[in-house]
Structures are given as structure tokens and as C-alpha cells.
């Protein structure tokens, strides 16, 4: 232990996400961008919002990008724009961040949660198929932790049953999905509508709240723009009930300075993930994130699964390891400890404990390690070494 501590004594403090170091790398661009907004005083609907919108359209290949206030608003506006009615069913994974189901419930629609796949932790296509009823109107796949859900089979299901797909790409901006015919598309640009978040810790994060919708459909884009702006097409004439949700000009300036670096950021995450993968691939008691051939992984999170010698979830080991790492100055997080169907606010007579066993198993054993664009080799070596040491200590 002592030689390690000496060896690592000048190491930079390890954080789940290091936004300070990332800022310093492009400080001048960010500062100038912010200063220009202040000088112009166009804090709302400034030209930087439109500039960023166009740059993101170019980057993603989406015909329309509609910037809004945050990722949750984006999901809500997407469901509003599709004209879903009270009682319509919307299928979402039970293993995700709450926002995905929250907006469904808020709009008086019926969330129908389904189980996920143990390896990719993404929506199980078979589970979606079983959950489809005559009331089902939409599927909201979440590209969890930065890898696309199985879009090709999901899109085939949606076509067959005449359903909409709203992609929750809040964690997956820049991930690319390859279809069997060889064509590729970015996360968020494959369904009728895609949603993303620019929350600071997301892969493309601003310095506050922000989000966007993607669509290739001109009519939907017009409706989304109107809904995000009080349901207004002609000023002070309100054609539908809308909301007020917009990306601040200051946030757009930050995002426009960061977007040219997004591919480098993704590569840095993938390099860190490859380091973790190599270190943990052959270890007993940990499973590295499962990959699909169809999607690249942009590693919003790097999430291990801790298991016992029978491959069963080992929640006690996971919790002891997390505490051990914290003692060594290494943050680690459980995303997500409680699946949606076990959340108090989402209690539903249709579901109970045991109904979505894969999600429950994941909730029992996942542990996300530090993942960001500025992890250096020294930090990675320190993390890996202590995960190994911690596991040896905590498995008994
Ligand atoms: C972050 C996130 C959201 C919500 O985004 P906000 O900008 O925080 O509202 C929704 N879904 C998923 C999967 C997310 O990770």
C-alpha cells in the first residue's frame, strides 16, 4: 500500500466527471463565446442558438435540431408533438433514469415498463414485443450509458405495429448504429424523434441545463418548434397547448465551443474504457460492459457488474467495493439502484418485485467507475489497481 501511495502522490484528484480540466483546455473559446453573448445582451434567442443548431444538424445528420431547455423537456415535447392521447401506452425500459417514464406519466399517458438485456443493459426487443397491446402508441428506447439500443429490430416492430419511436439519446450523443444493409445513423436520428440532454456531465454538456430534439420530418419539426414556444406559430396566436422551453444563448455559446471537440471527447472516453476493459476482462467477479456489434459505444458511463462465483449479482460485494474505493479517493456510483417499477411514485398494480428480473439483478450489482474526457494513465492505473485490491478484500 505505502509504495502505491508514494507513487501516486502527485496524482490529480479523481472525480466521476472532471469538467474543470476540460474547461481549461478550451478556456479561450468558451470565455470568448460567453463574452460575446454578454456584449450582445441577446440572452434569449440569440444568434448563437441558431448557429449551434445548424452545427449540430451537420454533426448528427439530423434534418432538424430543435434546442430546448433540458433533456426532460425534450422527451415531454416529443410525446406532445406526436399527439398522443390520454390512456395511450408508451413502452420504456424499467432500468433507466426516471425522466424517461416521468414525462409519460405527466402527460396522462400510460407508461408500460419492460425488462432489459443483461449484457447491454438496453431494452429487450422480445420484452417490447410481448408488451405491445392495441393501446400501444410509442416505444421510447433509451441508449443507456452511451450504446444504442437494438434499433433495427425495434424499428421493424414499430413498423409492423404502427408505433412511433422516440429515442432517449440523452447519454449517447455521437454513438453510431449500423444497419444490416450497411448504412449507419447517429443516436437520436433513427426514430420519428430523438431527444438529448446537455446537462453538464453528459457527453456534450453545457454549463447549466440544455437539451434538444432531433427529427427528419418537416411537419413534426414545425410542431415541435411551436410546442416549445407556447404552442405559438404566429406571434400571440396559440394553435395548441405548449410549454416554454428554450436553450439559453449562453449555453448555446458554450456548446458551440465544445461541439468541434466532441469526437476527441468520445475518443478519450473510449480510450479510458478500453483500459478498463483490458484490466478487468479476465477477472473473476466482475463483468465489463457488454457490447453489440451494431453500435459504437460513447461511454457516458463505464459500468461494471459485480457477481459471485456462480455469476449471480453480488450486491454486498458491490457496496463494500464502493465504500473501499471511496476510502481510496475514488468515487464510484450506482446507476441505477431502483428500477422504475419499484419506485414509490410509479407503483402500479400491474407490476411488482420479481416481474423484471434482469433489471432487478442489474440494480443489485452495477457500479459505474469514473469516466470523463480527462482521465490520465496514472489515474486509470490507480483506479484499476484499487478495484482489484478492493475486490480481493471485499469478496470474502
Ligand atoms: C440526463 C437524462 C435525461 C434528462 O435530461 P435533463 O437534461 O437532465 O432533463 C433523460 N434521460 C436520460 C437517460 C438521461 O440520462
Q: Answer whether 165 contacts ligand 1 (Cβ < 6 A).
A: no
Closest ligand 1 atom number to CA of residue 171: 15
Q: What is the CATH number of the domain that holds 331?
A: 3.90.1150.10
Ligand 1, atom 6, residue with closest C-alpha: 71
Closest ligand 1 atom number to CA of residue 75: 10
Last residue of one domain, picked from the residues 258, 281, 305: 258
pLDDT (0 to 100) of residue 100: 87
Among 102, 106, 171, 196, name the best residue to mutate to test ligand 1's pocket (greatest count of ligand atoms within 8 A of Cβ).
171
Ligand 1, atom 10, residue with closest C-alpha: 99
Q: Answer whether 70 contacts ligand 1 (Cβ < 6 A).
A: yes
Pair 9, 33 in one domain: no
If one counts the domains in the chain, the total is 2
Q: Answer whether 72 contacts ligand 1 (Cβ < 6 A).
A: yes
For residues 306 and 365, the answer to whether their CB atoms sit within 8 Å is yes
Q: Answer whether 99 contacts ligand 1 (Cβ < 6 A).
A: yes
**How does pLDDT run along the chain (396 residues), one tens digit per residue?**
444 555 677 899 999 999 999 999 999 999 999 999 999 999 999 999 999 999 999 999 999 999 999 999 999 999 999 999 999 999 999 999 999 889 999 999 999 999 999 999 999 999 999 999 999 999 999 999 999 999 999 999 999 999 999 999 999 999 999 999 999 999 999 999 999 999 999 999 999 999 999 999 999 999 999 999 999 988 888 888 999 999 999 999 999 999 999 999 999 999 999 999 999 999 999 999 999 999 999 999 999 999 999 999 999 999 999 999 999 999 999 999 999 999 999 988 889 999 999 999 999 999 999 999 999 999 999 999 999 999 999 886
Pair 210, 61 in one domain: yes
Last residue of one domain, picked from the residues 225, 258, 291: 258
Counting other chains too, the contacts that 220-224 makes at CB distance below 8 Å and 24 or more residues apart are 220/81, 220/82, 220/192, 220/193, 221/63, 221/64, 221/66, 223/81, 224/64, 224/66, 224/77, 224/78, 224/81, 224/193
Pair 233, 266 in one domain: no
pLDDT (0 to 100) of residue 4: 56
Peptide bond into 336 cis (omega under 30): yes
Alpha-carbon distance of 88 to 112, in angstroms, equals: 10
Q: Answer whether 199 contacts ligand 1 (Cβ < 6 A).
A: yes
Distance 359 CA to ligand 1 centre (A): 19
Q: Answer whether 100 contacts ligand 1 (Cβ < 6 A).
A: yes
- CB count in 10 Å sphere of residue 27: 11
Does the predicted model carry a pTM greater than 0.85?
A: yes
Q: Answer whether 188 contacts ligand 1 (Cβ < 6 A).
A: no
Distance 344 CA to ligand 1 centre (A): 20
Pair 360, 375 in one domain: yes
Pair 317, 192 in one domain: no
Pair 248, 319 in one domain: no
Pair 56, 171 in one domain: yes
Pair 57, 9 in one domain: no
Strands (E), the chain: 64-68, 89-93, 110-114, 136-139, 164-168, 176-178, 184-186, 193-197, 211-215, 232-234, 237-238, 286-287, 302-306, 366-369
Q: How far apart are the first and last CA of the chain?
A: 19
Last residue of one domain, picked from the residues 210, 233, 258: 258
pLDDT (0 to 100) of residue 2: 47
Strands (E), 141-190: 164-168, 176-178, 184-186
Pair 239, 266 in one domain: no
Measured between alpha carbons, how far is residue 331 from residues 172, 334, 387 in Å? Answer: 22, 10, 11
Q: What is the CATH number of the domain that holds 70?
A: 3.40.640.10
Domain that holds residue 276: 3-20+261-394
**Which residues, including other chains, have CB under 8 Å from residue 272's CB and lie 6 or more apart?**
299, 302, 371, 372, 375, 380
Among 16, 68, 78, 99, name the best residue to mutate to test ligand 1's pocket (greatest count of ligand atoms within 8 A of Cβ).
99
Distance 329 CA to ligand 1 centre (A): 27
Distance 96 CA to ligand 1 centre (A): 10
Pair 216, 289 in one domain: no
Pair 254, 368 in one domain: no
Q: Which residues pair with 68 in a beta bridge?
A: 211
Alpha-carbon distance of 85 to 34, in angstroms, equals: 41
Q: Answer whether 336 contacts ligand 1 (Cβ < 6 A).
A: no
Pair 94, 185 in one domain: yes
Closest ligand 1 atom number to CA of residue 300: 15
Closest ligand 1 atom number to CA of residue 142: 13
Closest ligand 1 atom number to CA of residue 211: 7
Distance 300 CA to ligand 1 centre (A): 12
Amino acid at each position: 500500500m505505502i509504495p502505491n501511495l508514494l507513487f501516486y502522490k502527485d496524482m490529480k484528484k479523481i472525480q466521476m466527471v472532471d469538467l474543470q480540466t476540460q474547461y481549461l483546455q478550451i478556456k479561450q473559446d468558451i470565455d470568448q463565446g460567453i463574452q460575446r453573448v454578454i456584449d450582445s445582451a441577446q440572452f434569449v434567442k440569440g444568434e448563437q442558438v441558431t448557429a449551434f443548431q445548424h452545427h449540430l444538424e451537420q454533426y448528427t445528420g439530423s434534418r432538424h435540431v430543435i434546442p430546448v431547455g433540458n433533456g426532460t423537456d425534450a422527451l415531454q415535447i416529443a410525446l406532445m408533438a406526436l399527439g398522443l392521447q390520454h390512456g395511450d401506452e408508451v413502452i420504456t425500459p424499467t432500468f433507466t433514469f426516471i425522466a424517461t417514464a416521468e414525462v409519460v406519466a405527466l402527460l396522462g399517458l400510460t407508461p408500460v415498463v419492460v425488462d432489459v438485456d443483461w449484457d447491454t443493459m438496453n431494452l429487450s426487443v422480445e420484452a417490447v414485443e410481448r408488451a405491445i397491446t392495441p393501446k400501444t402508441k410509442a416505444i421510447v428506447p433509451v441508449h443507456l450509458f452511451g450504446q444504442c439500443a437494438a434499433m433495427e429490430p425495434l424499428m421493424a416492430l414499430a413498423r409492423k405495429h404502427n408505433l412511433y419511436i422516440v429515442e432517449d439519446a440523452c447519454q449517447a450523443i455521437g454513438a453510431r448504429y449500423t444497419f444490416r444493409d450497411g448504412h449507419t445513423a447517429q443516436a437520436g436520428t433513427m426514430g420519428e424523434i430523438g431527444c438529448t440532454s446537455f446537462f453538464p456531465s453528459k457527453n456534450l454538456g453545457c454549463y447549466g441545463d440544455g437539451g434538444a430534439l432531433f427529427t427528419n420530418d418537416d411537419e413534426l419539426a414545425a410542431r415541435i418548434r411551436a410546442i416549445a414556444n407556447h404552442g405559438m406559430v404566429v406571434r400571440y396566436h396559440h394553435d395548441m397547448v405548449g410549454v416554454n422551453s428554450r436553450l439559453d444563448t449562453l449555453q448555446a455559446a458554450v456548446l458551440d465551443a465544445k461541439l468541434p471537440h466532441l469526437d476527441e471527447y468520445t475518443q478519450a472516453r473510449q480510450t479510458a474504457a478500453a483500459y478498463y476493459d483490458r484490466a478487468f476482462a479476465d477477472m473473476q467477479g466482475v463483468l465489463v460492459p457488454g457490447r453489440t456489434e451494431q453500435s459504437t459505444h460513447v461511454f457516458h458511463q463505464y459500468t461494471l457488474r459485480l457477481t459471485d462465483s456462480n455469476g449471480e449479482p453480488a450486491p454486498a460485494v458491490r457496496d463494500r467495493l464502493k465504500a473501499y474505493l471511496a476510502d481510496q479517493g475514488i468515487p464510484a456510483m450506482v446507476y441505477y439502484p431502483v428500477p422504475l417499477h419499484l419506485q414509490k411514485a410509479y407503483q402500479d398494480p400491474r407490476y411488482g418485485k420479481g416481474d423484471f428480473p434482469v433489471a432487478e439483478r442489474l440494480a443489485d450489482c452495477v457500479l459505474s467507475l469514473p469516466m470523463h474526457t480527462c482521465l490520465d494513465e496514472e489515474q486509470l492505473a490507480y483506479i484499476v489497481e484499487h478495484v482489484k485490491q478492493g475486490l480481493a478484500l471485499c469478496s470474502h
